[in-house]
Amino acid sequence: MPATCSRCRSAAAEVNLPYAKLRLCARCFKDFYTNRIRRTVEDFKMFRSDDRVGVAVSGGKDSMALLHGLKEAFPAAEFVALHVDLGIRGYSEHCREKVEELVEMLDVELEVFDLQRELGFSIDDFKDTLYRRKVCSACGTIKRHLFEVLAGRAKTRVLATGHNLDDVVSMMLNNFFNRNWSQLVRLKPVLEPLMPNQTFKVKPLIKTPEDEDLLYCLYSEIPFREENCPHAHVGRLRRNRETLEYLSKDNPNFKYQMLRTFLKLIPILEGHVEKPKLRKCEVCGYPSSSQICAFCRRVRIVKEARRTRNKGEPRL
């Protein structure tokens, strides 16, 4: 006979959560998932239950589950979905459609930044620049900046992102091994703004294992992207994930133990990490450690490459 759910004791258990010693039915799993989001937000004081909160949604399972879960956990809060259309051929259109489908389903406001329309280039154009082998890293810089711009447009004080437990712990381990303390410190659950008028960045899924985002999407019939980004390549990050899985094999609590350790370590490290001296970027006015910020430098490079290409001159 199949096991019954450890919570309601009536329905058949479908989801096994060894770290919590629970076997849950679909309904109890969804409650468990959204309760954890609510508790995480409250424990780390990420926002108030009646706040207006920007949610960065890419169309991927994590951010889509996040938006849906937040709406379930905080019915009185006002959420705005923030989406960057990266203009990646055969991919971005698909992502945007999924995001539009979800905001319609949830009746949530949507604010989109269309890279091609508003800035005249797409992430594909980085293929013609010195970032050709680092398109993902350039894309990351562009997205981080534009989510801040979108939060400003949507007038939200808080920006929630879909980083899950596996993301955060593997990035923490990576920064730890590379002794990159300043980046490690930035992985905390609530990141204060670098300058006034900017957002608090919060991670409501920091305690949610990645595979549960997928399960939650499936059980709640949440649309999410099924295509993979053509620029993404499995490399270093995948290897870190494999190490993490290996270490978790005999200890289902390993990721939580790592997270707890790092969360204790961060305040201690913070006292020793030198804060970067910030000024305003001369082009966009956003905080930057140099005269021109990383975003504006990349925009300049990609636009220059486009101009050269359009003139029919040899590629950079």
Binding residues (CB under 5 A) for Zn ion: these are 5, 7-8, 11, 25, 28, 281, 283-284, 293, 296
Q: Which of 124, 143, 156, 164 is nearest to 83 (CA)?
A: 143
Q: Minimum CB separation from Zn ion for residue 149, in Å?
A: 11
DSSP three-state, residue 40: helix
Q: Which of 206, 127, 133, 191 is nearest to 159 (CA)?
A: 191
Q: Minimum CB separation from Zn ion for residue 6, in Å?
A: 8
- Rounded to whole angstroms, the Cα distance separating 103 from 92 reads 17
Q: Minimum CB separation from Zn ion for residue 280, in Å?
A: 8
Task: Specify the residue, 3 or 316, whose C-beta has the smaller distance to Zn ion.
Answer: 3
- The values of phi and psi at residue 288, to 5°, are -155, 150
Contact 77, 233 (CB under 8 A): no
Task: Specify the residue, 9 or 264, whose C-beta has the smaller distance to Zn ion.
Answer: 9
Task: Specify the residue, 105 or 292, whose C-beta has the smaller distance to Zn ion.
Answer: 292
- Across the strands, what pairs with 12? 4
C-beta neighbour count of 35 within 10 angstroms: 13
DSSP 12: B
Which tokens hold the place of 169?
Answer: 């712990």
Question: Cβ-count burial of 307 within 10 angstroms (0-12 exposed, 13-18 middle, 19+ buried)?
Answer: exposed
- The values of phi and psi at residue 31, to 5°, are -65, -45
Give me the residue label for tokens 């490690």. Answer: 184
Give me the residue label for tokens 């490079």. Answer: 301
Task: Specify the residue, 25 or 103, whose C-beta has the smaller distance to Zn ion.
Answer: 25
Task: Specify the residue, 70 or 296, whose C-beta has the smaller distance to Zn ion.
Answer: 296
Q: Minimum CB separation from Zn ion for residue 291, in Å?
A: 9
Q: Minimum CB separation from Zn ion for residue 273, in Å?
A: 24
Task: Specify the residue, 8 or 232, whose C-beta has the smaller distance to Zn ion.
Answer: 8
Q: Whats the size of the chain, residue-wise? A: 316
Task: Specify the residue, 80 or 142, whose C-beta has the smaller distance to Zn ion.
Answer: 142
Q: Minimum CB separation from Zn ion for residue 302, in Å?
A: 14
Q: Minimum CB separation from Zn ion for residue 26, in Å?
A: 8
Q: Minimum CB separation from Zn ion for residue 306, in Å?
A: 19
Task: Specify the residue, 7 or 186, whose C-beta has the smaller distance to Zn ion.
Answer: 7
- Rounded to whole angstroms, the Cα distance separating 218 from 273 reads 42
